[in-house]
Structure 1
């Protein structure tokens, strides 16, 4: 029985950790801008200089953006229609799992079937808690119009574990792809 409890707790922790690793994306844009006029891009040098990543990850992030921009039909140019500004914001995160509040559907004392909950292990047996501390990053991708000197599109992805080195390059590419999937915005649906 103790083995079953241990396996169930391990599965719960794995599910909880895997649920925390997904990137949450969002975007915003200037509704008065005609996006069809933008065909060429380059990076905003002042913004790139301030990106708080090591040089290896900075190059990976830029390569991921270049790959996605090229896939969208943009051409990199010395006189671009748009400048890509990159920002990475990092903050400390702490996730605490069990022994804590538990609950679920089941038979409750005098209440019949329904929601029940209380304090303790999710598997009715106490046990150690689990604490996961890491640095969570938010990747921000801004598109700037150098002629008008305006920001016209803003995309971000939150939830990137900056401490995890496992498949880091792949996760950066996936994250950038998910953020830039929102460009160009569906302008006709929003007007």
Structure 2
């Protein structure tokens, strides 16, 4: 029970961090026809083996809760790629002019970045139709990444990423 509480706390804590997701899909796809999935046999996530296992576990759990089953003869295949990058620092330059009465003044301010640069990770989820080998849905997530994060924090981050990514699957087609 204590471990469950800690995991839920970490999920809430991690969900406060910024995870951005962009979706794209083929609007002619009949998403109701997909019931089973599997991963590409040569999937190379670009992450450590332990992080890959954490991501696959989170994705399997989330897809199962949505009614999708892993199969040896799947309706669609999933490919996952990731890239680590340094996030841009927030330095700024500002110029201002103003005055009161007959006095006119100007000013210049420069914002200097303080602290270390942050690492980010982009994860791309490609869902490919098995019958015609065509990409039909894609999500690109971007989030903060800490090299020295504990295994629990990493697991919680992957759960939060997967939940946010799968909010757009299947898409609401209008």
| TM-score normalized by the length of structure 2 | 0.76
- Structure 1 residue runs without a partner (length 5+): 1-17, 122-127
Find 1:95's aligned residue among 89, 93, 96: 89
Map of 2:36 onto structure 1: 40
Runs of 4+ in 1 over 3 A off after TM superposition: 100-103
Deviation of residue 36 (structure 1)?
0.4
Alignment gaps of 5+ in structure 2: 1-13
Residue pair 1:137, 1:162 contacting (<8 A) in 2 also: no
Give the secondary structure class of the aligned counterpart of 1:78.
Answer: coil
| Residue aligning to 1:180 | 166
Higher RCO by CA contacts (8 Å cutoff, separation 6 or greater): 2
Please say if residues 101 and 117 of structure 1, whose CA atoms lie closer than 8 Å, have aligned partners that are also in contact.
Answer: no
Structure 1 Cα separation of the partners of residues 155 and 141 of structure 2:
15
Q: 2:157: which partner in 1?
A: 171
Paired with 1:71 and 1:26, the residues of 2 have a C-alpha distance of 22
Q: Are residues 131 and 53 of structure 1, via their aligned partners in 2, closer, same or farther at CA, if it must alter by over 3 Å?
A: same
> Which residue number in structure 2 is paired with residue 79 of structure 1?
73
Aligned length: 152
Report the equivalent of 1:119.
109
- Other-structure match for 1:139: 123
Contact 1:21 1:161 in 2 (8 A): no
Q: Kindly state the Cα deviation for residue 147 of structure 1 after the two structures are TM-superposed.
A: 1.0
The alignment yields a C-alpha RMSD, in angstroms, of 2.8
